């Protein structure tokens, strides 16, 4: 089974710029023929005269075929019919000639971009991107994404730049969280939105202290704890960025709404609650769908996130810092901010490995395949 796409360029979706970008290239733009997430990316790009694409590289091979106009790449004048092949990781830049350029661009999977040096990306200002990455990439959405694009691009981001989150965007993200399902529609969530620098500093102090003990107890050395993208997974990166990320949403479970059975919890002398028995579908079941909504809504607005549970290591202290009543459970926290790390698409097991047809162990046969 495979995919085939037959279309006319006039029908191809504009993912950057717009129809006004055609002909005289006032702003440039890109029409997408492939698939944003699964790839391949097949673009027809329109770039304006004189545009300078500064040195950058990608995590995938790419091919450009110039259809009209041209650009200069290094010493080479590239015009109609020129085919440019760039291997993954190769740094390149170009200057568009005075007629502008229209070229067909094919890439594998989700485009990523790495800029070099001090040069700024001329497209950032106009919310486009030389490869479309800023329009649909994991951490920079010039336009809202489809739910599928958001799901497939969502990464756990641990490094953030200094940009704050616009209050209206935050409202929208929080409202999306509250649209989630919950057991019996009890909506037991309480969200503490932490923006205050001093509060973040105090939480960070607690976490730095907690992590110093964890490091000593770990079986592996920190250098051995690296994920498939080469990122350390010791938890230190998220502790480090705790006072840099603009917003931390601490997600709590309110027993006054969440408790569904008599005597499900008993009160401790300090006012905290303890479970008296195990009831299926515990607190997290009614909070985590809201967290996922929160992260996907943020992603759709170009805002990255990190889901964490590590505040639990200093539960009492952090609840005190945030003024959370003892009987309310602090379950997790979600960072929200603009990413300063470039990450590709998430690596996940194929559905063939984890989906069963009718009975556990019966292979599920997908009728579509991921490419790239």
Ligand X SMILES: Cc1cc2nc3c(=O)[nH]c(=O)nc-3n(C[C@H](O)[C@H](O)[C@H](O)COP(=O)(O)O)c2cc1C
Which is nearest to 138 in space by CA: 112, 159, 165, 169? 112
- 282 contacts ligand X (rule: CB under 6 A): no
Question: Between residues 26 and 284, which has the closer beta carbon with respect to ligand X?
Answer: 284
Q: Give, for 66, the enclosing helix (H) or strand (E).
A: strand 62-73
Using alpha carbons only, give the angle 289, 290, 293 rounded to the nearest 5 degrees.
Answer: 90
What is the contact mask toward ligand X in residues 341 to 360, using x (rule: CB under 6 A)?
-----x--------------
- 312 contacts ligand X (rule: CB under 6 A): no
Residue given tokens 């990320």 in the structure block: 245
What DSSP string runs through 200-222? HHHHHHHHHHHHHHHHHH-SS-G
- 308 contacts ligand X (rule: CB under 6 A): yes
Which is nearest to 234 in space by CA: 310, 292, 160? 310
Question: Between residues 57 and 158, which has the closer beta carbon with respect to ligand X?
Answer: 158
- 309 contacts ligand X (rule: CB under 6 A): yes
Question: Between residues 139 and 238, which has the closer beta carbon with respect to ligand X?
Answer: 238
- 299 contacts ligand X (rule: CB under 6 A): no
Residues of span 250-279 touching ligand X by CB under 6 A: none
- 225 contacts ligand X (rule: CB under 6 A): no
- DSSP 8-class letter at 261: S
Instruction: Read off the tokens for 259.
Output: 């408790």
What DSSP string runs through 79-94? -TT-EEEE-TT--EEE
* Alpha-carbon 94 to chain mean position: 28
| Residue selected from 45, 128, 206, 238 as contacting ligand X according to rule CB under 6 A | 238
Question: At its nearest, how many Å lie between ligand X and the CB of residue 13?
Answer: 26
Question: At its nearest, how many Å lie between ligand X and the CB of residue 237?
Answer: 6
Instruction: Check if the beta carbon of residue 219 is closer than 8 Å to that of residue 238.
Output: no
Question: At its nearest, how many Å lie between ligand X and the CB of residue 313?
Answer: 9
- 235 contacts ligand X (rule: CB under 6 A): yes
What is the rounded CA–CA span in Å between residue 131 and residue 2?
25
Residues of span 122-161 touching ligand X by CB under 6 A: 155-156, 158
For 216, residues 6+ apart whose C-beta sits below 8 A from its C-beta are: none
Question: Between residues 326 and 346, which has the closer beta carbon with respect to ligand X?
Answer: 346
Question: Between residues 105 and 339, which has the closer beta carbon with respect to ligand X?
Answer: 339
Give residues in contact with ligand X (CB under 6 A): 155-156, 158, 235, 238, 306-310, 346
């Amino acid at each position: 089974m495979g995919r085939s796409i037959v279309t006319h360029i006039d029908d191809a979706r504009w993912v950057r710029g717009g129809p006004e970008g055609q002909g005289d290239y006032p702003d440039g733009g890109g029409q997408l023929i492939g698939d944003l997430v699964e790839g391949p990316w097949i673009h027809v790009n329109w770039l304006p005269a004189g545009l300078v694409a500064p040195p950058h590289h990608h995590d995938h091979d790419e091919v450009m075929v110039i259809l009209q106009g041209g650009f200069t790449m290094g010493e080479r004048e590239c015009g109609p019919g020129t085919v440019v092949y760039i291997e993954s990781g190769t740094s390149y830049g170009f200057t568009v000639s005075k007629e502008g350029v229209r070229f067909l661009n094919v890439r594998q999977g989700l485009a990523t971009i790495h800029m070099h040096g001090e040069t700024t990306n001329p497209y950032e200002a106009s919310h486009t991107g030389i490869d479309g990455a800023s329009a649909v990439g994991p951490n920079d959405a010039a336009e809202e994404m489809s739910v599928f694009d958001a799901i497939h691009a969502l990464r756990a981001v641990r490094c953030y730049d200094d940009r704050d989150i616009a209050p209206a965007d935050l409202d929208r993200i929080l409202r999306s969280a509250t649209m989630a399902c919950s057991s019996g529609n009890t909506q037991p969530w309480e969200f503490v939105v932490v923006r205050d620098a001093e509060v973040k500093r105090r939480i960070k102090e607690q976490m730095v202290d907690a992590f110093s003990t964890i490091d000593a107890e770990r079986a592996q050395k920190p250098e051995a704890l690296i994920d498939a993208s080469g990122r350390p997974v010791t938890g230190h990166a998220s502790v480090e960025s705790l006072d840099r990320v603009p917003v931390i949403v601490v997600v709590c479970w309110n027993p006054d709404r969440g408790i569904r059975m008599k005597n499900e919890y008993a009160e401790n002398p300090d006012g905290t609650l303890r479970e008296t028995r195990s009831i299926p579908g515990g607190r997290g079941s009614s909070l985590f769908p809201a967290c996922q909504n929160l992260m996907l809504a943020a992603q759709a607005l170009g805002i990255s996130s990190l889901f964490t549970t590590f505040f639990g290591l200093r539960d009492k202290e952090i609840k005190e810092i945030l003024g959370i009543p003892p009987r309310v459970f602090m379950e997790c926290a979600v960072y929200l901010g603009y990413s300063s790390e470039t990450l590709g698409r998430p690596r996940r097991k194929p559905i063939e490995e984890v989906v069963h047809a009718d009975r556990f162990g019966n292979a599920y046969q997908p009728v579509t395949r991921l490419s790239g």
